[in-house]
Structure 1
Amino acid sequence: MDRETLLGHMTAALGAIEDPRFYQTERGFQGELLAELKKAIPAEFLPEKAVVEQEYQKHFESHGLKIRPDIIVHEPFDENRHGSRRDGNHAVVEIKRAATPKKSADDFESLINMMELLNYRFGIFINIASEATRAEQVPAEWRDRIVCFAVSLRDGRPHVIRSEA
């Protein structure tokens, strides 16, 4: 899966979220982003059997962690195709609303844990209702694998900022 193409689809999906209601909560934004991603990403772009979904089922016994990402791009585990649950994981997305530097640092720690334990190729951090991507909070050794976005409404229109620290 081409990272830049996926990030282009992510930018388009973020730019399509116009209703101020979705900027009020992380959960509301997450649902709308998932809907917009499904519209923005052509089916033929995803690797065979890969899906974009909200994660709801991370179990410590199976996955080695209790934290749950907001959205993932992955191939659901199939013992006939994958050697472990670490195979077929493409991207993991963490969403926060108006994240402070401290809060975003904690979120980057969680994002890195998910990337390490489940072998996601890259991570995406989205700071909603803010113009601060918080990319400066990404630890230096992870800056090539984590892309940060800030998305807010400016004069009633979505304003998307992308940063790679």
Structure 2
Amino acid sequence: MELAGGELHADLPLDGRSLLPHLQGRGGHDEVFGEYMAEGTVGPLMMIRRGAFKFIYSEDDPCLLFDVHNDPQEQEDLSGSPQYRVLFDAFLSEARAKWNIPAIHQQVLASQRRRRLVFEALTQGTLKSWDHQPLVDASQQYMRNHIDLDDLERKARYPQPCQHT
């Protein structure tokens, strides 16, 4: 938003923070939140990356903690280490406060039920895929600001006029 010169409105909340300071070389925050709820998981997976540490939160699997500065391959899980207990507990509390996993899980299940219902309806009779399938590039078909009017008219004529070089 900031880069485009836009303003945030209180009635349209937007998660996240501006990346503009990073792009302008002015530093910026060192924090990233990640959410993964797709293939390969049995439930929502959440991540907090802050400073040297990466915390993975799941209600279905053990939570993980890594020092990505000293262990960039994330080979050593620090979640059970007494030395990192306070940090682990702080990340865990933050994750539980930030994400309502049971509510998210119910929203995902409801979305899956809706999509299954639509799929089942679309498979009755002749199958009609509901995947978006653009067959033509409509941006080049109609009058657009980036297309020269003479070029557009030349393309639209049948037969096309001869091209003189």
TM-score, normalised with respect to structure 2: 0.27
Is the helix fraction higher in 1 or 2? 1
Greater strand content: 1
TM-score with structure 1 length normalisation?
0.27
**Which has more radius of gyration?**
2
